[in-house]
Structure 1
Amino acid sequence: MSGPFNDRRPRRSWLFTPATRPERFDRAARSGADVLIIDLEDAVPPADKAAARDTALAVLAAPPAVPILRALRINAPVTPDGLEDLLALTRRPPNGGPDCVIVPKVDSAETIRWIDALLSGMGRSVPLVALIESARGVAAAEEIANASPRLAALFFGAADLSADLGCASAWEPLLSARSRLVNAAALAGIEAVDSPFFDLTDAAGMQREAAAALALGFGAKAAIHPGQISAINATLTPTEAEIAHARLVVAESVKGVAVVDGRMIDEAMARKARRILSRATSAAQPQED
């Protein structure tokens, strides 16, 4: 599936902005975030859903003020508001919509399949991102990840999942669920996006969690405030030292088993090094109109 979302632009940081606050869109777009999420779901009161939908679609009909990828989080597709969101998307001109659609509350592959069928039937090629935020969704992560060629990423929802499990919304209690989502995404060859860090007063904690997400295998992390973006981008962008080491590992790996900086390397380590170089190349790509 072609389009801006499937090119080599970076997608390290995803910033939520309520569709009811269009005055924040410009600041969010200029925050340095790679993806702006216009949110129709949790951030919008029930009475404001219809107006928020109209606002979001009007904004998306025009090019962004600055180059940035734009995602639309719709309401849960099993709700009337979610169905209205999807139908509204099918009525828009093909070039007047989001770069991807984030589908919340995905707990089965069938959800992605029928949305794919609906959009395909209306000639829409927009990629989908499945937000996994329930025990059922985690259990079905592998099947969801392979539900459709339209699916571009799995998105981990810590807040709703912690409520579903009755556990704290913290790293350790949700580590096994995060690991399962990363594994499912890797098996399907799609991206994995980590949940936002919700404590806006703990910058150090946010940076630690972004580093932990990267170490676990996530390629991106969401944010709920523009002030979190620079730390996410910095953490998820390889350093010059990491890039230099990765290049050396790749170069030496052609010899078979070799030694770099006192450590034995083989093809498995070369694969990891190539991933680092790919992330570095992506991060260096300028956003385009």
Structure 2
Amino acid sequence: MDINALQTLLFVPANRPERYAKALASGADAIIIDLEDAVPAAEKDAARTTLAGWLDSQAPASVLVRINGTGSPWFNQDTLLCRSPAIAAIVVPKAEDPLALSELANATDRPLLPFIESALALSRLDAIAAATGVARLLFGKLDLAVDLAMDYPPPEGEPNDESGFLFARSQLVQSSRVNGLAAPLDAIYTAFQDDRGLTDYVRAGLRLGFGGLLLIHPRQVAPAQAALAPTPAQQAWARRILAAEERVNGAVVAVEHNMVDAPVMARARRILQESDAG
């Protein structure tokens, strides 16, 4: 599994093993089996035991697992589980301590995907991104909203305004770039039957520089993947830009009354590369 190439990551509760196969068949780039928020405290040990047995029958590096936090009573046993060959990477909730991340990476020999979901994590973002074993950053907006006492999420029927998270999202994108990580993965979109809203949400994340997002329901996979792909209009625009570049041999040129120079041409090439990859 190429962690850097993942765009759609689907959560499935560890205490619902009957959903594992459905999640794997959803078409998502990877599934995250969740031992943390999705599992009540009284069921965590049983869920881990069930998951361990299932992992024994899975292909190497085929799934991701979200463990419980470093300060939780379940962390040590979760860490032992993560040595399973079937686990490609570990999703770390409420990551705030770069040293603890490095220790976890060394103990499991697995890449880490830390959740950035608190003010403290944001203040230590570059150190977290640079920690041993960290492969990509994940954005956790719901816990961040609680930590910062933000007016989010809105009551049903009110607009879902994401502008309050712009400062955090931009920091994740910048820190990932500075520290040589693949583009970060955006937070979940909770309205899992709102395909139009999901599409707009995904494209807003792309405009900021995110490389994909986390999903909570299999029905979100197809619309999310469609939204992540370059649109026909973008592809047509890119072809016009590159045709103009070829005519002027890379010099600055006007296309449709807009100046086009090297950065714009690079953007056009990336759009067509993403289209071909899809």
What TM-score, normalized to structure 2? 0.86
Q: Which amino acid aligns with 2:117?
A: E
- Indicate conservation of the 8 Å contact 2:141/2:165, yes or no: yes
Report the Cα offset of residue 102 of structure 1: 0.6
Find the aligned partners of 1:221 and 1:203 in 2 and give their Cα distance.
14
- Indicate conservation of the 8 Å contact 2:235/2:275, yes or no: yes
Find the aligned partners of 1:118 and 1:205 in 2 and give their Cα distance.
40
- Indicate conservation of the 8 Å contact 1:5/1:127, yes or no: no
2:35 alignment partner in structure 1: 40
Find the aligned partners of 2:80 and 2:38 in 1 and give their Cα distance.
20
Find the aligned partners of 1:111 and 1:234 in 2 and give their Cα distance.
37
Find the aligned partners of 1:140 and 1:274 in 2 and give their Cα distance.
34
2:178 alignment partner in structure 1: 187
1:144 to 120, 124, 128: 128
Report the Cα offset of residue 211 of structure 1: 1.5
Report the Cα offset of residue 188 of structure 1: 2.0
Report the Cα offset of residue 69 of structure 1: 4.9
Tell me whether 1:74 sits opposite 2:67 in the alignment.
yes
- Indicate conservation of the 8 Å contact 1:153/1:185, yes or no: yes
Find the aligned partners of 1:164 and 1:193 in 2 and give their Cα distance.
20
Distance 1:73 1:281, change over 3 A: farther
Tell me whether 1:87 sits opposite 2:80 in the alignment.
yes
Find the aligned partners of 1:32 and 1:206 in 2 and give their Cα distance.
17
1:26 alignment partner in structure 2: 21
Q: Which has the higher contact order (CA 8 A, sep 6+)?
A: 1
More off after superposition, 200-209 vs 79-88: 200-209
Query: In the TM superposition, what whole-angstrom CA distance separates every residue of 1:189-227 from its partner, at most 9, and x where no partner exists?
Result: 323100111123433222221121111111111111111
Find the aligned partners of 1:232 and 1:249 in 2 and give their Cα distance.
27
1:133 to 117, 140, 143: 117
Find the aligned partners of 1:5 and 1:162 in 2 and give their Cα distance.
31
Tell me whether 1:243 sits opposite 2:226 in the alignment.
no
Find the aligned partners of 1:73 and 1:59 in 2 and give their Cα distance.
15
Any gaps of 5 or more consecutive residues in structure 2? 154-160
Find the aligned partners of 1:257 and 1:172 in 2 and give their Cα distance.
35
2:259 alignment partner in structure 1: 264
Tell me whether 1:163 sits opposite 2:146 in the alignment.
yes
Any gaps of 5 or more consecutive residues in structure 1? 285-289
Distance 1:260 1:197, change over 3 A: same
1:115 alignment partner in structure 2: 104
Report the Cα offset of residue 277 of structure 1: 3.8
Distance 1:240 1:138, change over 3 A: same
1:98 to 73, 82, 87: 87
Q: Secondary structure at the match of 1:182?
A: helix
Tell me whether 1:173 sits opposite 2:164 in the alignment.
yes
2:199 alignment partner in structure 1: 207
Report the Cα offset of residue 6 of structure 1: 4.4
Larger Rg belongs to: 2
Q: Secondary structure at the match of 2:2?
A: helix
2:218 to 216, 222, 226: 226
- Percent of aligned positions with the same letter in both sequences? 35
Find the aligned partners of 2:250 and 2:212 in 1 and give their Cα distance.
33
Q: Secondary structure at the match of 2:164?
A: helix
1:287 alignment partner in structure 2: none
- Indicate conservation of the 8 Å contact 1:17/1:24, yes or no: yes
Find the aligned partners of 2:107 and 2:216 in 1 and give their Cα distance.
30
1:55 alignment partner in structure 2: 50
Q: Which amino acid aligns with 1:104?
A: P
Find the aligned partners of 1:277 and 1:80 in 2 and give their Cα distance.
48
- Indicate conservation of the 8 Å contact 1:74/1:85, yes or no: yes
